[in-house]
Amino acid sequence: MVESCFDEEFLKAWNRCPASSSANDAKTRLENLILFLKGEVEGEERISSAMSGFGLTKEENVKMPRKKKYYLETQWGKIPTASSKAPEIKKPKCIFYDGNHASSDSFNAQKLTLEKKQKIVRDKNCCFA
């Protein structure tokens, strides 16, 4: 039950530890888990203090695990945002002659009769407004 609270990386490391499978009762297993967790924290603190002491990294980089930082850097452009979900703005297209201009600006459409314009609008299921 307690193990379900931890992330995947920690659980993989815990399962590689011989103490994870040696205990049969829940109390001993929990004690082994706490000792393992304490060792992991101390190890991360030693690495963090060594790296910051030698000036190898900036202070904020030391606090984030390398795998997580790499994942965030590589996935940065792939995270969906509201702007990526917004519909693309389409350029106006002439319904009368399929040109790349607005129907109201069509020189050739001005020569058509009103009945012909209405027929084209109906055939293409467009709005009369």
In the chain, what are the helix, strand and coil shares in percent, each to the nearest 5?
65, 0, 35
Is the distance from CB of 103 to CB of 95 less than 8 angstroms?
A: yes
Q: Is residue 40 part of a domain?
A: yes
Number of domains in the chain: 2
pLDDT tens-place string over residues 78-117 = 555 666 666 666 777 888 878 888 888 888 888 889 899 8
Q: Is residue 109 part of a domain?
A: yes
The per-residue pLDDT for 67 is 61
Q: Is residue 75 part of a domain?
A: no
Q: Is residue 83 part of a domain?
A: no
Query: Between 51 and 31, whose confidence is greater?
Result: 31
Range of the domain at 16: 2-54
Mean pLDDT of 34-41: 83
The per-residue pLDDT for 16 is 79
Q: Is residue 85 part of a domain?
A: no
pLDDT band at 52 (very low <50, low <70, confident <90, very high): confident
Q: Is residue 96 part of a domain?
A: yes
Q: Is residue 97 part of a domain?
A: yes
Q: Is residue 66 part of a domain?
A: no
